[in-house]
Structures are given as structure tokens and as C-alpha cells.
A = this chain, B = another copy of it.
Amino acid sequence: MSSEGSGGVLLGIDLGGTRIKAARFSTDGEWESESQSHSNGREKAEEIFAKLHSVASDLIGSDRLAGVGVGVAGVFDAQSGRIVKSPNMPTLNGFDLRGQIQSAFGEVPIHIMNDANAAALGEFHAGAGMGAESMFLLTLGTGIGGGFVSGGEIWEGVAGVAGEVGHMCIQADGPLCNCGAKGCLEACVSSWALIRDANAAAGEKPDSPIAALPSLTPEDLAVLAAQGDEDARALWEKAGTMLGIGIANLMNLLNPECIVLAGGLAKAGDLLLKPARKTWEVQAFDRAHESTSVRMGKLDEWAGVRGAVQPLLRP
């Protein structure tokens, strides 16, 4: 379906540390086409924005733009329109994203939010959370992000920080996290935590299959575990157990209708889910884990792009 002659097109953009993804939608939220560009954390802010502009312009073509929604990896300040802090794209710290979008695309409705919240809105309105009253999205990737959706909207908290489930402590005095705290969920189960533990395991057993891997990635560790390697299985078992604690905490604290798992690490499937389920069935109240379902995300890496336009859709 084309939007020619209609109310124009909406653009959803996911501005991440390694890729800029964008898609165009009808004003009803119907997906029309998508495009992406690679970025890296070392480019200047102007270069990153030029790529965003280019990807976006190609998608808009000669159609009328009706609005732009952006999910950005970092803390965005809605009052100033600036990116406060973007750990993976430090050159964007302080960048006037809303102002630049306005200059580039004209006076159209613009909505900017955190990328994890955008992904949560996407899964809620068009993915695994469809039809639920409430949902918590857990994105399991390099780090761990999250977003709590209730009544169709993100619970943002008083200063927009809510949803930082990756930095919920589940192990007092546990492993040091990148955020400076200890025992955060992300420091116990995430790509970087898994690779840290795999390196330690390889160091302890220099003759093991793990130590023989040319590179330590979650994908390689999953293959090794599937082949029956005990050390690799133990790594996933530990990560899954920690994930189960995090999920149990969400069940007991928020008891949402569903918890949706997304992100690269979620692709490990049962390697992660089996020990996780075993754990949440003990750690969470029966009434909590029996009523909150755990589902896999449906929109994959495009959830954020879809969620970014949600606030701009015709009601």
C-alpha cells in the first residue's frame, strides 16, 4: 500500500550504536518499507546525523512527511530536545537531536524517546504483547534494556529513567557492572557478561574447547553448548539462572500480563530459557509466575522502529 494522496507518511527511526534503522509507515501504522545504515561510536555527531538524514530522505522520497518518531540509545531530555548521555555514541552527548530534525525535515510532529522504550512500545502494539493489558520488555543484547508498558503507554517515571531493569541488582556484592554498581542483572547475564565468564573459563582450562574457539561470541558458545560441551553448557546455565531471577523479580514486583524477551542473546532459546524457567518457578510466587506469561519478541531488531512512531499514530 502506498501513502500517495493520503495523509502523508510517518518515519520511525532507531538510532543505535552500530546501526541507524528506519522505516516508513502509513499514518495508521502500516509498515511500508525500511532501510538502514551502519554507524560506529567514533563518528562525529554531524556525520551520524547526515547518515540518519540520508536514510530518512530515501524512504520519504517525494511523499509528504507527516511525523518523525525516534528511539535513541541513551538518555534523552524531552524538555531541551537534547541527548543527555549516549554511552555507545559519546559524540552525541549534548546533541540537539530535536532541533536538528526540525531543521532537516521542517515543522512536523516529532517524538523522541529511549530506544528500549521504543522497542517495548513496538512489541506491545504490533508484536508479542498485542492484546495484553501490560507488558515488560527485556532486551537481552550487549547490555540489558527494558520498558514497562501499561495501558498502552510507557511507564517513564518522574525523570524518564524507569525501565532500567539491566541495572536492577540481583547479586549484592556481585560482579562489577559498566555502570559502576555491583551485581546488576546486566553484569550477570548479557553478551558482555557471558564473554567475560567464557574468558575466565578458557583461562582456567587452556585445553578446553572453549579456549580453542577462535573468538568468544554468544553464537559460538551456543554452538559449543549444543554440541554437548559441559563448560559451555555451564555458562548458559548460570546466565539463564540469573535471567530467571530477574524475571521472577519483575513477576513479583509488577505482575505484568506478559514479559517479552528480545535481543540477540534471546536467540539462544532453551539454553537460556530452561534454567531461567526453573529459577523463576522457585523465586516467584506461584500466583505471579502462573499469571505472567513469558514470550519471545516477534519484531526482532525492528521493534524500536515500529514503537518510535506509535505516539504519532492516528488514534
Point out residues on A near B: beta carbons under 8 Å: 75, 84, 133-134, 148, 150, 155-165, 167-172, 174, 179-183, 188, 241-242, 245, 248-249, 251-257, 282-285, 287-288, 290-292
Contacts and interface: CB of A to CB of B under 8 A. Distances in A.
A84 B284 CA distance: 17
Contact of A180 (B162, B251, B282): B282
A161 B288 contact: yes
B158 A245 contact: no
* Oligomeric state, in copies: 2
A243 to B, nearest CB: 11
A150 B148 CA distance: 13
Given A180-B282, A285-B179, A288-B164, A169 B255 contact: no
A254 B157 contact: yes
Nearest to A282: B181
A245 B148 CA distance: 20
Given A172-B245, A181-B282, A253 B159 contact: no
Contact of A285 (B150, B164, B169): B164
B287 A159 contact: yes
A254 B254 CA distance: 10
Contact of A248 (B165, B181, B257, B282): B181
Contacts of A283: 167, 169, 181-182
